[in-house]
Structure 1
Amino acid sequence: MSALKWQGWLVGLVTLAGLLVFAPLGLYVWASGGPSDGAGAPRPALEGVRVTGCRIDPASRRVVAGVEAAGRPEGPGAYVVTVEFRDTARAEPGGRSAESLVRIPGVAVTATEHAEALGPVWPVATVPWCGAAAATFTPVEPRP
């Protein structure tokens, strides 16, 4: 046989060996990956929460943040949200910052519930920024 035929056979055998080694590994990785949209894994609680408003109460001069929590596919439950109040949207060293906790109980799977977080007394000359800093979700066990 000529040298070109041996090279052709060699390339074919190496390709076949590579398929025999890497194809099962690729199938294993693909099959164990689960759904590509992440529906199988629980999403972080902070993704279901957002601050809908940030205002200063005229009577008390305290900052009030509107908070909205969306239901989760795991079932009904309660959120505890940490709301942060700052001078600016970007955290700055030495800037004014405060936090408040708000509990939003009884959030059903398809519902959206609202609450307000009460912040500190705010100076007259500054505009506050409000944002969700952290959140936890606790599922509620159904009663028999």
Structure 2
Amino acid sequence: MGVSALKWQGWLVGLVVLAGMLVFAPLGLYVWASGEGPAEPPEVPPGAAVDDVRVTSCRVDPVGRRVVAGVDVTGRVPGVSAYLVTVEFRESAEPEPGGRAAQALARIPGVARGATEHAEVVGPVWPAAKVPWCGVAGAEFGPTPSAGTP
């Protein structure tokens, strides 16, 4: 092979590479641009987590005289969620004007869509002659963190 034959082979390789780029680069850009990004979580109106939470029981523990509320959470968003529920303890269902009610938090992780999880929330020491009222003061949810996340 002479020098001119090698020269033409180099040009031929260069032209084949250029043709490949002209054909496949637009195709790659098209696939990249038309691809869907990560799925957005469904829009849930603010305060919707409260609708997922229900107080199922409200009793005074006879040993410690503390109020114990049973709470059920039913997941309704896709995926698995963790709920942070604020339970309020009062003497009546109607709040006292200007009064402050005792509250306690419950963290309920791993609530799947359509599943119901139960938790018990322990409140303050309760007077012997009073009957407690327990209710949901607030609730929030978010994705359950993975096992490696602190």
Q: Call closer, same or farther: CA 1:85–1:141 in 2, change over 3 Å.
A: closer
Whether the aligned pair in 1 keeps the contact of 2:69 and 2:120 (CA below 8 Å) is yes
User: Take 1:131 and 1:99, find their aligned partners in 2: how far apart are those partners?
Assistant: 10
Partner secondary structure for residue 46 of structure 1: helix
Distance between the aligned counterparts of 1:124 and 1:95, measured in 2? 20
Q: CA 1:126 to 1:96, structure 2 compared with 1: closer, same or farther past 3 Å?
A: farther
CA apart distance, 1:75: 1.5
The equivalent of 2:110 in structure 1 is 106
TM-score, normalised with respect to structure 2: 0.64
* 134-143 or 56-65, larger mean C-alpha shift: 134-143
* Structure 2, unpaired ranges of 5+: 1-41
Rate the CA distance shift 1:124–1:77 in 2: closer, same or farther, 3 A. Answer: same
Cα gap change, 1:58 to 1:95, in 2 (>3 Å): farther
1:132 aligns with 2:132: no
Of residues 56, 67, 83, the one that matches 1:63 is 67
Asked whether the equivalents of residues 109 and 144 of structure 2 are also in contact (C-alpha less than 8 Å), the reply is no
The one-letter amino acid paired with 1:132 is: V
CA distance in 1, matches of 2:126, 2:144: 36
Please report the TM-score for the alignment, with normalisation by the length of structure 1.
0.66
Q: 2:81 aligns with which of 77, 81, 86?
A: 77
Q: Secondary structure at the match of 2:51?
A: helix
Q: Report what 1:51 is aligned to.
A: 55
Aligned equivalents of 1:61, 1:71: Cα separation in 2: 32
Q: Distance in 2 between matches of 1:93 and 1:141?
A: 39
| Identity in percent | 60
Counterpart position of 2:5: none
Q: Aligned-pair RMSD on alpha carbons? A: 1.9
| Residue 116 of structure 1, aligned match among 103, 110, 120 | 120
Aligned-partner SS, 1:45: helix
Q: 1:56 to 1:96 in 2, by over 3 A?
A: farther
